[in-house]
Chain A
Amino acid sequence: MAILEVRDLSAGYGPIRALDGVSIDVGEGETVAIIGANGAGKTTLLMAIVGVVPARSGSVAFQGRPITGLPTHVVSRMGIGHAPEGRRIFPRLSVRENLELGGFTQTDRQALKRDIDEACGMFPVLGERMAQMGGTLSGGEQQMLALARALVGRPKLLLLDEPSLGLAPLIVERIFDVIGSLAKRGISVVLVEQNARAALRLADRGYVLETGRVTLTGPGAELAHDRRVREAYLGEG
């Protein structure tokens, strides 16, 4: 059964139609890549799934339950984690407090501590920066914090919006390693990426988004070999 079902979803901003009847599915434990040019509507799609951007029509179901129109915090508490575009860590909270907020709904202090330790195990540098303010971290460290913060909430589904943007190759590799390990831990992933090559290599399936519509979909490897994808997103041609 699909953990996430998006059906004919439309959304926008004032007169702008950013999403125009998008349908995607994410299977249990599956990693799905969404690729597309700037302004294609990738961020809007993720934000519409969690209700930050209201849906104008269409529906979203999570684990078979409709979540269209639910407030964002309710969707989050159902088990959807989100590492949003631009990281959006809390700049004037310490790294520890940022991580604690990731587990905001976890009331068992011991369990929260374990979850934070586990997240720091994946990104040891965060463990060394616990008392530092989030805003003083480097870009790469902030991205790790955003990912770790989302993981502390023990999501069943994780939405990642361009986690590799602007980062050095070594850090990108580290972050993709972690994303690749999520499936083994039973976490389904929606990965939005400009770095289409890496994303499609990692993903079970992919969707190509163009001006708010899905124009192409298929298994990751297949998409990576598609002529149109290679020309438009892999810089070949």
Chain B
Amino acid sequence: MFFLQQCLIGLTNGALVALVALGYTMVYGIIGLINFAHGDLIMLGACLALTLVGALGIAAGGGAATWAGVAALVLLCGLFCGGLNVAVDRIVYKPLRNAPKLAPLVSAIGVSFIFMNAGLFWLGPADRSFPDLVPSTNLLAHDGLQFTLKDLLVVLVVVPLMVGLSLLVRTTRLGKAMRAVSQDPVAAALVGVDVDRVIAATFFIGGFLGGAASVIYGLYINTIGFQMGFQNGLYAFTAAVLGGIGSIPGAVLGGLVIGLVRALSSAYVGERWTGAIVFAILIVILVFRPEGLLGRRTREKV
């Protein structure tokens, strides 16, 4: 039963990691950039969420009103992070599109620091507690096993977003254009695809998912701080690499695996070993499958 409980915790946490990992993997898939600023973008989303809780007067225990408030938070923070991500692409990465790969990468690290400073300004240096709008009421009629309202919240936000993303990428015109651009941007432009707009859309979607993740993070973990972007970004990036960077299902699988490993190693080995274990597993997997769990073995780059 204890084991099952840890798995549940791991999967819920993993779903959150996966949501962030998608932002890394989508941007990498479309322009080959590891967007180091993604974790800090999510930190800024959490800042906005905290501000909005106060501004909109969202209170706990309000039933429908609370849930509507949470939905508004997810939407607004999603739009905010999506928009910010697009703006950064326009201003910073787009002029560097034809520059050597290292230039946008270093710029992304720069953006990460700028975001972190903005977060420091916004939140102050100390960690802030995030209102416990969704209580940890157990939904299972079982004492040994807990699946709380908070866990349900994660599932309710993450699953529809992932299903929506998958449908968008597989079936819509934009999705087809996104896949085409990721495979050959020149050929895509030759058939009339506006490559810059498709890239902007990808940044927006990745940012939107990150913004949604930032709200859930606040509600689930209940503590936010200006440095939260680094560690969370690192785990999510690891998840994306583990799953095969550039692969959307890979990011989801990688996120779930990392969540599980973190939960199980915290439970059975000890909290302070978690980081070491996660990265040891990453290294082992990459030694045997350098392309990640669901990544492509060969890169047919023209």
Q: Interface of A with B (CB < 8 Å)?
A: 50, 52, 71-73, 76-77, 82, 84, 86, 88-93, 97, 100-102, 104-105, 135, 149-150, 153
Closest chain B CB from A79 CB (angstroms): 10
Query: Quick check: A153 and B176 within 8 Å, CB to CB?
Result: no
Please tell me if B94 contacts chain A, counting CB pairs below 8 Å.
Answer: no
Question: Are A89's CB and B187's CB within 8 A?
Answer: yes
Tell me the smallest distance from the CB of B200 to a CB of chain A, in Å. Answer: 14
Q: Nearest-CB distance from A73 to chain B (Å)?
A: 5
Report yes or no: B192 in contact with A76, Cβ–Cβ below 8 A.
Answer: yes
**A77–B194 CA distance with the chains assembled, in angstroms:** 10
Q: Are A101 and B189 in contact (CB under 8 A)?
A: no
Interface flag for B300 (CB, 8 Å): yes
Taking CB atoms, residues of chain A closer than 8 Å to B179 are 90, 92-93, 97
Complex Cα distance, B246 from A138, in Å, reads 26
Instruction: Determine the chain B residues whose CB is within 8 A of the CB of A82 once the complex forms.
Output: 190
Q: Which residues of B contact A (CB under 8 A)?
A: 173, 176-177, 179-180, 183-184, 186-195, 296, 300, 302
Interface pair B192/A90, CB less than 8 Å apart: no
> SS class of chain B's interface: helix, strand, loop or mixed?
helix
Inter-chain contact A102/B183, CB cutoff 8 Å = no
User: Is the Cβ of A101 less than 8 Å from the Cβ of B186?
Assistant: no
Q: Quick one: which of B179, B187, B191 has the most chain A CB within 10 A? A: B191
> Would you list 19 pairs from A and B whose C-beta atoms are within 8 A, ordered by A residue?
A50-B190, A52-B189, A52-B190, A72-B190, A73-B189, A73-B194, A84-B186, A88-B190, A88-B302, A91-B183, A91-B300, A92-B183, A93-B179, A104-B173, A104-B177, A104-B191, A104-B193, A149-B191, A153-B191
- Interchain CA distance A222-B186 in the complex, whole Å: 36
- Rounded to whole angstroms, the CA-CA distance of A56 and B186 in the bound complex is 19
- Selected from B188, B192, B195, B302, the residue in CB contact (under 8 A) with A77 is B192
User: Roughly how many angstroms separate A86 CA and B194 CA in the complex, as a whole number?
Assistant: 22
A149 cross-chain contacts in B, Cβ below 8 A: 191
Are A93 and B176 CB-contacts (below 8 A) given A88-B184, A135-B300? yes
Q: How far is the CA of A182 from the CA of B205 in the complex (A)?
A: 41
Bound Cα distance from A77 to B187, whole angstroms:
14
Closest B residue to A152 by CB, please name it: B191
- From known contacts A91-B300, A101-B180, infer whether A84 and B192 are also in contact, taking CB-CB under 8 Å: no
Please, how many angstroms separate the alpha-carbon atoms of A54 and B179 in the complex?
Answer: 25
B193 touching A101, Cβ below 8 Å: yes
Say whether A101 contacts B183, CB under 8 Å.
no
Contact B183 A93 (CB under 8 A): yes
A90 and B189 contact, CB distance less than 8 A: no
